[in-house]
Amino acid sequence: MTELTVNGTRHRFDGDPLTPLLWYLRDELALSGTRFGCGAGLCGCCTVHIDGAAARACSVAVGDIDGKVVTTIEGLGGTVLHPLQKAWIQLDVPQCGYCQSGQIMQAAALLAGNPAPTDPDIDDAMSGNICRCGTYPRIRAAIKAVASGSHAGLAPPPGGQLAATAKPVP
Amino acid sequence: MSTQPQTLGRRGFAFGISALAGLVAALPPMPSQAAGSTPSPNESKQQHPEVTVWVVIEPDDTTIIRVARSEMGQGSMTALPMLVAEELECDWALVRAEYVLASDNLARGRPWGDMVTAASLAIRASHAYLRKAGAQARTMLIDEAAARWGVGADACVAKNSVVTHIPTGRTLRYGALAQAASARAIPPNVPLKRPQDWQVIGRPLARLDTVEKVTARPIYASDVRLPGMLHAAVAACPARGGRIGHFDAQQVLAMPGVRQVVAVDNNAVAVVAASWWQAKKALDALSIVWDESSADGSAGLELSTEPLARMFRAGLDASDVAIGRRRGDIDAALATAATLVQADYEAPYLAHATMEPQTCTAHVTAQGAQVWAPTQNGEGTLLVVAQTLGIDPSRVVVHKHHLGGGFGRRGLAQDWARQAVLIAREVDAPVKMIWSREEDVRHDLYRPFCVARHTAGFDRAGRLIGWKTRLCGSSISDALARDRLKNGEDHEMMSGFLEEDMVYDVPNIEVGYVMRNTAVPVCFWRGVNHTQNGYFREAFVDEMARARGQDPYLFRRDLLAHSPRSLAVLDEVARRANWGRQHAGVHQGIAIVESYESVCAHVIDLSIDAAGQPTVHRVVCAIDSGYVVNPAIVTAQMQGAVAFGLGAALDGEITLHKGRVQQSNFHDYPVLRMNQMPPVETYLVPSADRYSAKWGGIGEPGVPPIAPALANAVFAATGRPVRSLPLSRHPLAPT
């Protein structure tokens, strides 16, 4: 029996304790925002926070995190968008988008420990997260925008879709 | 130019499903929302009448614009609606994009035209009919307003989803007009705006799919959840061409969650379980004996990298050559040349490594099949599912999801769809199949391993008088699209050297291709044959320039003297990159490739440290795509193309040993990471219709010039040409 808290909700898991957290989140808790990319901790697609630290959910067994607090992309901002999500929207960071949950979770862990990262800091923190579409320049820009506090003042991109859809995450 | 959707017959557009239209044209309409069906989040859920098939306007003015192509990161879900919106005169803030269902397209006689999303053709093949669709709907809305007011339509104007009667100032919103307008006849001929009047095309509008991607909405096929759904993990025979020897399902059926073990196509085994992890764990525990005795290629060719490479190299001397282009008398020119320059080049097999491994969810019942798929080709998926199951295409519904990367892997190659329905056919429930990354790398269809031999001749005055190129590798079209062959010859394997896509002015020229097909599957890979051929061509141009003692940029300028479009792009990239004025220790490489009716050039600034480690400091890109629909998307695509192509050129290589692919995951098939990503400066030099009436592609043209720009920068740094890729093969430390 494993107990853990995911996005503020306590869960009990009595399945195979070797089950990777990734598949527990996706298949049992229906939290599909944490995505499968490699299964070996090599790509960062499945990055979540465990007790606030970035971790690869594909490589963490549920049985090893008894009592821990897990945050996924669905719970990152609570009831509102996290500043990184806002910056991601304002800079139109994603292309295919598949890796972006992991990128945002990794960036959030970076900023939590280092509110003003340098370029080398960003390289160190983010180079475990692969993006095959090559959105790296905008990821870097979005992290810097949040770090400098300028994301709030970024002009929204032209077009009205942002205002129409950028509502708090339910 | 045609303005009707159709299966375009032009070479480069036909993708082999044209027969499908006739096959099912007479079928009754298939309801999109079949009983028990779960649509994809971005699929058409029509509540209100269509003004035309492309446009639905709800009473609150929400404007739904249908998209027939697929979104895989390249921005189709935004740029294609922009084309319609330009002429529709709707308020862009009210626009929502939705996918057309392949089954609806087929049942209704293909009113949405081709759904293929490949060859960078989403815009270039459909801009005319999408703008026309917007103009038709706008005309119908204006006519409806004019009829209500009893005034002439020419006294009315539409803007921001409102029709205004100019003399009186009366207005009617689109939402109040749409229902009645939908009953009006669609005007066959409508004038389109002049480019100088465009208000939407050319603006860097925000993408319509960003918020859902940032807030983790379940928009991918691998996110699908269906009542009673089971999960499948698959292992195919690790050796190409091998098959199942034997396995004992009893070994794992008692494991937690496991429901079934299914043999697929005699060459793969799937375990179906309550969760994917349970399926994968049982699959790993299952002792499968593979029969690899048939894993050899034809004629006893060992499917290992070296024997394969030797066979392709030998092809350069073979006589069964398909000639793609011949100008002047190449043999005479080379015989009389004062100087000859000759070099052989090689490019490796490459995997796609889409961020989302291959996946497909399928539910097969007595009534038919539904699949939830990340597909570049919705109709192609539908046809493959129907053929695999031996059922009528009218009994198949394909729910399209955004792709977690495409790059050519999910278009004509529908092996994943076949596997998914073969598994689901054996299971009394919907089944979500997901490949492990290892399965994805080892059972990809690869960019072909190719070799090239160049021979160039110069006269006594140092002028290039002859250039002969021989290419050898496996034909993509022969494997996947035989209707694209010409008399059995695959001229697309010579992309980048053909008359339409190599504009260098050389009086005597010949390019030929020797086809050598093997059991190693090959496939379209972002940029396709322009990628290896662009490298072969542009790296050799630098060798020629150096042999003549000329600057590579100026050498190209001379060859492009009569090609103003390419020359303008070349000049722009050189000017923006401060060509020739780089800092000490920094070396520049330049390359230009014409592809998909666009012209793209890159300059790379590179240094190599004492340990031989190369660093790319900057990439400067110039791109002429004719017209630009959304410059922000173009800029993003150029950055993405640099990342995709640079990663491959630096480290990408798939090798084989006795039929087994030796790479398996991102540790041994590395792709570009954040710390390797150079700043990319992109300069748009759209020539509109100055040189042609074409709208150029954007998804791929940034890829082909990046590998040769890298090779040429290294050549400049070391004085040694880079005649094979990846660069990691070559020791670069100063000697």
pLDDT digits (tens, 9 = 90+) for B522-546: 999 999 999 999 999 999 999 999 9
pLDDT at res. B36: 57
The average pLDDT across B85-91 equals 98
- A70 and A89 belong to one structural domain: no
CA neighbor of B376 nearest in space, from B395, B396, B352, B392: B352
Computed from CA positions of residues B299, B305, B311, B316, in that sequence, does the dihedral angle turn out positive or negative?
Answer: positive
Computed from CA positions of residues B547, B550, B554, B560, in that sequence, does the dihedral angle turn out positive or negative?
Answer: negative
pLDDT digits (tens, 9 = 90+) for A67-125: 999 999 999 998 899 999 999 999 999 999 999 999 999 999 999 999 999 999 999 99
pLDDT digits (tens, 9 = 90+) for B431-442: 999 999 999 999
Nearest CB to A92 within list B207, B357, B677: B207
pLDDT at position B464 over 90 = yes
Within 10 angstroms of residue A168's Cβ, the number of other Cβ atoms is 10
Is A103 domain-assigned?
A: yes
**B405 and A CB contact within 8 Å:** yes
pLDDT at position B17 over 90 = no
ipTM comes to 0.95
Contact call for residues B15 and B118 (beta carbons, < 8 A): yes
Q: Do A36 and B222 touch (CB under 8 A)?
A: yes
- A131 and A68 belong to one structural domain: no
pLDDT at res. B410: 98
Is A147 domain-assigned?
A: yes
- A92 and A152 belong to one structural domain: yes
- For the beta sheet containing A9-13, the strands, ordered from the edge strand earlier in sequence to the opposite edge, are A9-13, A2-6, A69-71, A47-50, A53-56
pLDDT at position B326 over 80 = yes
Is A170 domain-assigned?
A: no
Q: List the domain range (segments joined by +) for residue A151.
A: 83-165
- A104 and A157 belong to one structural domain: yes
Average pLDDT of the residues of chain B: 94
- Enumerate the residues of chain A whose CB falls inside 8 A of the CB of residue B225: 30, 32
Residue B504, token pair as written in the block = 């260098």
Residues B378, B383, B385: CA angle, nearest 5 degrees: 95
B22 band by pLDDT with thresholds 50, 70 and 90: very low
Tell me which of B78, B214, B637 to substitute to probe the interface with A (most A C-beta atoms closer than 10 Å). Answer: B214
Concatenate the DSSP letters of all residues of B466-519 into one string. EEEEEEEE--HHHHH-GGG-BTTB-GGGGTTSSTTT-----SEEEEEEEE---S
- Enumerate the residues of chain A whose CB falls inside 8 A of the CB of residue B679: 137
Q: Do A33 and B642 touch (CB under 8 A)?
A: no
pLDDT at position B604 over 80 = yes
Contact call for residues B501 and B516 (beta carbons, < 8 A): no
Rounded-to-integer distance, Cα B473 and Cα B302, Å: 16
User: Can you give the length of chain B in residues?
Assistant: 735
- Enumerate the residues of chain B whose CB falls inside 8 A of the CB of residue A19: 275, 277
Rounded-to-integer distance, Cα B200 and Cα B636, Å: 18
Is A93 domain-assigned?
A: yes
- A19 and A54 belong to one structural domain: yes
pLDDT at res. A162: 29
Residue B696: strand, helix, or coil: coil
Within 10 angstroms of residue B693's Cβ, the number of other Cβ atoms is 10
- Rounded to a whole number of angstroms, the distance from the CA of A67 to the nearest CA of chain B is 22
- Distance between first and last Cα of chain B: 58
pLDDT at res. B491: 98
pLDDT at res. B296: 60
DSSP 8-state symbol, B191: P
**B524 and A CB contact within 8 Å:** no
Report the share of chain B in percent with pLDDT over 90.
92
Q: Which of residues 643-682 of B touch A (CB under 8 A)?
A: 643-644, 665-667, 671-677, 679-680
B44 band by pLDDT with thresholds 50, 70 and 90: confident
DSSP 8-state symbol, A161: H
- A114 and A69 belong to one structural domain: no
- A18 and A64 belong to one structural domain: yes
Class of residue B426 by CB neighbours under 10 A (exposed 0-12, middle 13-18, buried 19+): middle
Say how many CB pairs under 8 Å bridge A and B. Answer: 211
The CATH number of the domain where A8 resides is what? 3.10.20.30
pLDDT digits (tens, 9 = 90+) for B293-325: 876 655 578 999 999 999 999 999 999 999 999
Last residue of a domain, one of A35, A57, A75: A75
- A87 and A27 belong to one structural domain: no
- Enumerate the residues of chain B whose CB falls inside 8 A of the CB of residue A79: none
Is A46 domain-assigned?
A: yes
Is A44 domain-assigned?
A: yes
Rounded-to-integer distance, Cα B437 and Cα B235, Å: 11
Residue B144 to residues A135, B130, B163, B318, Cα–Cα distance (Å): 45, 21, 10, 68
The total domain count for chain A is 2
Nearest CB to B437 within list A39, A129, A157: A39
- A22 and A53 belong to one structural domain: yes
Residue B175: strand, helix, or coil: helix
Rounded-to-integer distance, Cα B522 and Cα A134, Å: 24
pLDDT digits (tens, 9 = 90+) for B98-132: 999 999 999 999 999 999 999 999 999 999 999 99
pLDDT at res. B222: 97
pLDDT digits (tens, 9 = 90+) for A29-56: 999 999 999 999 999 999 999 999 999 9
The average pLDDT across B231-246 equals 95
- A30 and A101 belong to one structural domain: no
pLDDT at position A170 over 50 = no
Within 10 angstroms of residue A59's Cβ, the number of other Cβ atoms is 15
Last residue of a domain, one of A75, A93, A120: A75
Q: Which domains does chain B have, with CATH numbers?
A: 18-213 (3.30.365.10), 221-293+358-434 (3.30.365.10), 305-349+446-729 (3.30.365.10)
B248 band by pLDDT with thresholds 50, 70 and 90: very high
For chain B, the C-alpha Rg in angstroms (whole number) is 27
- A50 and A104 belong to one structural domain: no
- A117 and A59 belong to one structural domain: no
Q: Which amino acid is at B329?
A: D
pLDDT digits (tens, 9 = 90+) for B700-735: 999 999 999 999 999 999 999 999 999 999 999 876
pLDDT at res. B25: 39
Q: Do B639 and A36 touch (CB under 8 A)?
A: no
Angle between helices A100-113 and A119-126 (to 10 degrees): 130
Nearest CA in chain B to A134: B640
Last residue of a domain, one of A52, A75, A98: A75
